[in-house]
Amino acid sequence: MRQIFLDTETTGLSPEAGDRVIEIGCVEMVNRRLTGQTRHYYLNPERSSSPEALEVHGLTDEFLADKPKFAEIADDFLAWLQGAEVIIHNAAFDLNFLNHELKRLGREPFSRHVPAVTDSLLMARDMFPGKRNSLDALCSRLEVDNSNRTLHGALLDAGLLAEVFIRMTRGQDSLVIDQGHGHAQALGEQRAATQDLARLAVLLVQPDDHELAEHERVLAELDKASGNKTVWRELVS
């Protein structure tokens, strides 16, 4: 299963008013593991960013002046996405911009170029109703380290989204690229599955008087803290 995590940065909030895409970041995952393959484009939008947008992404007109236009990277971008499910946080926003960029070139909408688009924001709202579900909020809630995120960056955010997505879908706690580690883990699981446990000798350790007394002291403290509601002594008797 091939999945692409995608994020964009833009000159403002409204492609209908002429705002453009200035950055695209993509991170590839295959079978729920990062491959290390990415696509990252800075784009010349042929217009200035709004002051509010510039505060978010920090990409100045001077920095973007010599970057390619969307038309120059469109074929490479779309070809790399072929056959992949694309995951976007707040997909409606990014898709609106990408569709406007494609329309300028006389191309079909974004969803026609990929098998599926998944909105991780809608997933988060289902999982955490009534809570903040921005990417930053999800990183905090799911213990994903975003300490390097001082400004929004498309490639950085795509990587954070991949980590958040894995934790939301509970497949694993973190992303692993090292194939050697995965092979060793699988080998260990195989050996564990074929081990004849009936042949193992169980070692019984008898507590001494001091350990028994300490155990009784801890049980008494638990009994007192619970208001004498513990049941283990009844079960033992």
Q: State the catalytic residue, choosing from 152, 183, 210, 215.
A: 152
Which residue in this structure is represented by tokens 């894995």? 166
| Rounded Cα gap, residues 200 and 189, in angstroms | 18
Which residue in this structure is represented by tokens 């390097």? 148
Structure token digits, residue 226: 């619970």
Terminal-residue alpha carbon distance, the chain: 56
Instruction: Please answer whether residues 38 and 28 qualify as being in contact, where contact means their C-beta atoms are separated by less than 8 angstroms.
Output: yes
Structure token digits, residue 83: 């056959």
| Rounded Cα gap, residues 12 and 100, in angstroms | 13
3-state DSSP assignment of residue 154 = helix
Structure token digits, residue 222: 């638990």
Q: Which amino acid makes up residue 15?
A: P
Q: Which amino acid makes up residue 143?
A: E
Question: HSE of 169 in the Cβ direction (CA atoms, 13 Å)?
Answer: 14
Indicate if 152 belongs to the active site. Answer: yes
Active-site positions read 152
